Structure 1
Amino acid sequence: MSAADTHPTVQVDIVSDVVCPWCIVGFLQLDQALQQTGIQARIRWHPFELNPAMPPEGQNLREHIMEKYGSTPDQSQQARQQLTKLGAELGFAFNFDDDSRIMNTFSTHQLLDWAETQGRQHPLKMALFKAYFTDQKDISEIDTLLSAVSEAGLDAEAARSVLESGQQASSVREKQEFWTSRGISGVPSMVFGGKYLVTGAQGVDAYRQILHRCMAEAA
């Protein structure tokens, strides 16, 4: 048995979208819980599109939130301030302004699906979150995507080929259907140990408890 095998490990499947702020918040809360407990996780990210019909040019984020959820401008501003504060507490920078836009994310999911086959899915997911929320980049643009790919240690030209060929498109659609057919309608949705479903960003304490529960049952 190797030294790595002595560490307790839990499989965590996370259904998410790159433009979902609560997905990065939830992951960072989970990450803190993992650090506090000493438990390790095998993280797998799965595709979910919050706005599959979003056109290529995207939409102003504030307008989108108001249309989709009926939020007032004040409510939208308060939500952004809450996320910015929460992100800072978790070591992540949310940068919102009046020109922030929501994007179509099907291309990001195709790249993440490919990156899993290369063993670099998680670094790419983190790079995409940073590109969109921190750097305010257009993640439907090929140059933005390829920059994130390079940052994650993947080959940019291979990634370009993935997008141009559409080779991962059907795989992504199948995985989306798998999760939606099982009742997943919002993100983040995390499945711990293939058994416990937790939806939304639940906080460090809640994740710590479920990690301990998984390990106790495994023992």
Structure 2
Amino acid sequence: MSNYLFSEILFSQGLFSDGLLGKNFYIIPITLLLPLTAALVVLQANPYQALVVRGILGAIAALVYALFGAADVALTEALVGTMLSITLYAIAVRSSMNMRLGILDSDSKSASESGSEYSPESPFTAALRAALKAHHMRLELVTYDNAAALQAALIAKEIHTAYDSKRFLKTRIEALYSILKTVDSPATANLTYLDLSRPLAQPLPAQPSDQTDQNLQEERP
């Protein structure tokens, strides 16, 4: 029944005025590209390739709208449905598909001088980049002045992973913890997962000093 209604719509629009093999028969294969391209978007594992296929899907949809005489809808699909959405998707993918690794500034300076752990050519950094690249992610190094600032940044969710001066690697994201476990490096031997959904231990209140106790006693009647 649905095929019959679809054919009636095509004939009413004059698309099949010369029969099934008429001059407008090319619209059918172009229209069939829509579900095929949509399936390719869903099946893509690489997010950047999915954005490219999404652009192709939008172009085909705009072409189909134009062929059916809806030029205004085709223009809206091309400008808003395709260009704007792909721009927003690209910004979201680029900002989310990276791991921010917090390190100490002193360690970073010593590494740049000696060419050790934090330099781009070091085995540790190269192993991290290789593990993340397999998941289409990038590595971003963020430096902090001291260990307290590094720990605070991890708790405040400014970074995803922290590597302190004691060579402990901490991450607050469970998916990154699974990825980092596969890295063949001595640094990942001290890898821990920090679950921020659980309440952290609160520090004990400071004990009042002797001067404070004396002032309280003087204020009493």
- State the TM-score, normalized to the length of structure 2: 0.25
RCO comparison, higher one (Cα < 8 Å, 6+): 1
Greater Rg by CA: 2
- State the TM-score, normalized to the length of structure 1: 0.25
